Structure 1
Amino acid sequence: MLHLRLIVPADRTDEVTGLLERTAGTAHLVVLPGVARDPAGDVVLCDVAREAGDELIGALRRLGVDRYGAVTVAGLDLTLSARAEKAERAAPGEGADAVLWEELSEATHEESTFSITYLAFLAVATMLAACGVMLDNAVLIVGAMAVGPEFGPLAGISTALVQRAPHLVWRSLWALVGGFAAAMVLTSGFSWLMDLFGLFDRDMIEADRPNTAFVWQPDWLSFVVAFLAGIAGTLSLTSAKSGALIGVAISVTTVPAAANAAVAFSYSDYAQMSGSARQLLENLGGIVLAGTLTLITQKALWRAAQRRQRAQEPPAAAEGSG
């Protein structure tokens, strides 16, 4: 279930509560007249089944509640109520399959912002991966994959493409391309500094590295893994199961490939640099493609489920009235 808190001008409260009462899947409607101060108005509270949430939020925005008042949505981990159970049965589809597009757009918008924190995480992850490839240490590679924040802008690109939001596409691309470019430049400098202190040397980059050689040797399997990871990552975002993102992060070779490219460049090993760049592009492309196709599929399946539900509503209503 989702919990909605609305601030509504007093002269629009009846219109909004009417919408909530007509929406299948709502429960626990509460109206607190005149308690809101900024903006001034009534506070309207209700719970709604997740599967009905996206349509209801869209209807509230069409009424302009977000412009003349406020709409706040929070997830509920536990609701003990017979009325809530009835609301969930009445809502179309299954909650686990529902996509809250407003929530997804907001989350990917925040995660795809080129910020100091984002760059710091990406740069540290890339430097950590540089240590991993130079030492041929798979544990460091996995750690670097987990730290990297690059899935945010990748998901942002997919979401923006499906939602046809060009401004978010460019914002996410800037975070992705600019972030990796800056992180790789910083990692090249880090490699030079480590060489100066005698911790890195050319023999390490040119040695046989059975545990990490895959980083700069891309093949079709690399693309397949990235594609599957993109599906899993997108599903974890849309179903609010963020824990799955850790598994996604450590299954794709983005940060390690960028790190190997940066280190190889610092030692003028252009063959490894080229292979690492191809690995990076394959993984980024596979994730974006998978994410976009996953969202398109979810959107189509959800619309089909809603159509089936609406087609069954008249007979069900007739049974209930009898």
Structure 2
Amino acid sequence: MRLVQVFVPRGDLDLVLETAEATGVDYAVSEQTCRGEFEALVSVPVPPAAVEPFLSELRASGLDEGSYTVVTAAETVVSDRADELHGEFAGTRISREELQSRAADLAPAASTYFILLVVSTAIATAGLLLDSAATIIGAMVVAPLMGPALSASVGVVVDDDMLARRGVVLQVTGICVAVATAAAIGWLLRGTVLLPPGFDITTVPEVRERTTPSVLALFLALGSGVAGVVSLVRNVGSVLVGVAIAVALVPPAATAGLGIAWGHPTVVVTAGTLVLINLLSINLTALILLWLSGYRPHRTDRIDHAYGQLRSRVVMLVVAIAILSLVLGGVTYGSYQTAAVEHDIQTELEAMTDDPTFDEFAFHERTVDYELVDVYTGGQPSVTVLVERPPGDQEPPDFADIVRERLETATGTDLEVAVELVDTQRSG
């Protein structure tokens, strides 16, 4: 339930009461003692779905816009009449005015926003370097990215240019700050005793996960956008949804920053593409769902303008996502190709170990050097095979060529193969 309180300007009391009667809601009138601007306070208990129709009727009836109308959430209402009101005003979404107010509250002051963002990025960067998923998820609780992501979309659908502009600015500058923070931390830590000598970020699984994203990564962003709108519109679970949105944005932004610090252009491009496509997808989903939920500007003459703004942004976002998806699709295909080659090599080596032709030789994959960039530049996969043999056994003179031909037949790819032979004795 909501409690709507209208501070009635002098001469407008009959107008407010007639509106309440026409809307079919209960009300109570209190005498107002003030500087002379207001003559009464009208309190109206209503379900959430009735707030917007009631406020719209007040505006349509000509209530002075200089008056105060306060909407508060009622923790508990003890009355059988509440059930009747809920039956008359069915619905679960909050009013346009509450939506606009909540979106503005979710986007904190700039100083608070950037402090929390730098802290969350620093924690996430540490989690990436430590390969700690728990640390990364913990950092997401601090990240304040949900507010700007949703306030930008809310501003468009309700025709609040200032709110929309602020949401976009905070998102863009926030991502830039996150990348710069991670790059600075990486530059400071690189070569120190806090990281192993020769530490390479591309070998860390948590980093590699953000540099080899697949098209399936879109589901996180799209799902986060849907959950964000639902939590905002229905006023539930915004903290957990904020974590989901932050997971889609902060870790890949931090990964891009680490790529800058370590001088890995591939890391910067792939992680940067992931964070951009996630950001755009969240905004696209939020825009469409808010409009489909029925939110419009309160002035009917501004609805066409808001729709035009919505349409142009949706087109721009769809085009940008489509272009970035080509990059994401390319990464997905390249990752599949490298994984397929490695899988085929491993499978063939196991088959060669069981093949009587090779007597008691045992074949093991030691390294496969085949990177994403090699798929598109024509780079040849380099394979090192470790072969165990009983002491005294001799391999054929062209043994390395035999191994290479078997592996090339299995993978369908030209390979550069190095064979390391080890005399092995095994005890009972």
Shared fold, TM over 0.5: yes
Q: Deviation of residue 62 (structure 1)?
A: 4.2
8 Å CA contact 2:218, 2:278 repeated in 1: yes
- Note the aligned Cα RMSD (angstroms): 2.3
Partner of residue 43, structure 1: 41
Partner of residue 19, structure 2: 19
* Distance change >3 Å, CA 203–CA 154, structure 1 → 2: farther
Q: In structure 2, which of residues 17, 25, 29 is the aligned counterpart of residue 31 of structure 1?
A: 29
CA shift digits 1:1-28 (9 cap, x unpaired): 110111112311111111112213x23x
* Distance change >3 Å, CA 201–CA 10, structure 1 → 2: farther
Partner of residue 175, structure 1: 170
Partner-residue secondary structure (3-state), 1:67: coil
Q: In structure 2, which of residues 273, 276, 288 is the aligned counterpart of residue 293 of structure 1?
A: 288
* Distance change >3 Å, CA 200–CA 164, structure 1 → 2: farther
Query: 1:67 aligned to 2:61?
Result: no
Q: Deviation of residue 222 (structure 1)?
A: 0.9
Q: Deviation of residue 186 (structure 1)?
A: 2.9
Matches within 5 A, 1:164-313: 164-195=159-190, 197-200=192-195, 203-241=198-236, 243-247=237-241, 249-250=243-244, 252-299=247-294
Q: C-alpha distance in 1, partners of 2:128/2:118? A: 15
Partner of residue 304, structure 1: none
Q: C-alpha distance in 2, partners of 1:285/1:201? A: 37
Letter in 2 for 1:183: A
Q: Deviation of residue 216 (structure 1)?
A: 2.4
8 Å CA contact 1:260, 1:276 repeated in 2: yes
Q: C-alpha distance in 1, partners of 2:160/2:223? A: 25
Matches within 5 A, 1:116-127: 116-127=111-122
Identity of aligned residues (%): 25
Q: Deviation of residue 47 (structure 1)?
A: 0.4
CA shift digits 1:28-81 (9 cap, x unpaired): x11112334485431111101111111212233445656332011011132111
| Deviation larger for 203-212 or 222-231 | 203-212
TM-score (norm 2): 0.64
Larger Rg: 2
Q: C-alpha distance in 2, partners of 1:124/1:254? A: 14
Letter in 2 for 1:79: V
* Distance change >3 Å, CA 186–CA 47, structure 1 → 2: same
Q: In structure 2, which of residues 139, 146, 149 is the aligned counterpart of residue 154 of structure 1?
A: 149
Partner-residue secondary structure (3-state), 2:213: coil
Letter in 2 for 1:9: P
Q: C-alpha distance in 2, partners of 1:86/1:250? A: 37
8 Å CA contact 1:35, 1:43 repeated in 2: no
Query: 1:112 aligned to 2:110?
Result: no
* Distance change >3 Å, CA 108–CA 64, structure 1 → 2: farther
8 Å CA contact 1:7, 1:39 repeated in 2: no
8 Å CA contact 1:36, 1:43 repeated in 2: no
Q: Deviation of residue 250 (structure 1)?
A: 3.3
| Deviation larger for 161-170 or 114-123 | 161-170
* Distance change >3 Å, CA 201–CA 258, structure 1 → 2: farther
Query: 1:8 aligned to 2:8?
Result: yes
8 Å CA contact 1:154, 1:172 repeated in 2: yes
Q: Deviation of residue 195 (structure 1)?
A: 3.4
Count, aligned residues? 294
Q: C-alpha distance in 1, partners of 2:223/2:202? A: 31
| Deviation larger for 104-113 or 12-21 | 104-113
Letter in 2 for 1:169: A
Quick check: which one's helix share is greater?
Answer: 1
Q: Deviation of residue 182 (structure 1)?
A: 2.3
Greater relative contact order (Cα < 8 A, sep 6+):
1
CA shift digits 1:81-106 (9 cap, x unpaired): 12222222222x32x2x231111112
8 Å CA contact 1:138, 1:212 repeated in 2: no
CA shift digits 1:212-267 (9 cap, x unpaired): 422222221111221011101110010010x2541452364200111111121111
8 Å CA contact 2:121, 2:178 repeated in 1: yes
Partner of residue 308, structure 1: none
8 Å CA contact 1:6, 1:44 repeated in 2: yes
Letter in 1 for 2:13: T
* Distance change >3 Å, CA 160–CA 34, structure 1 → 2: closer
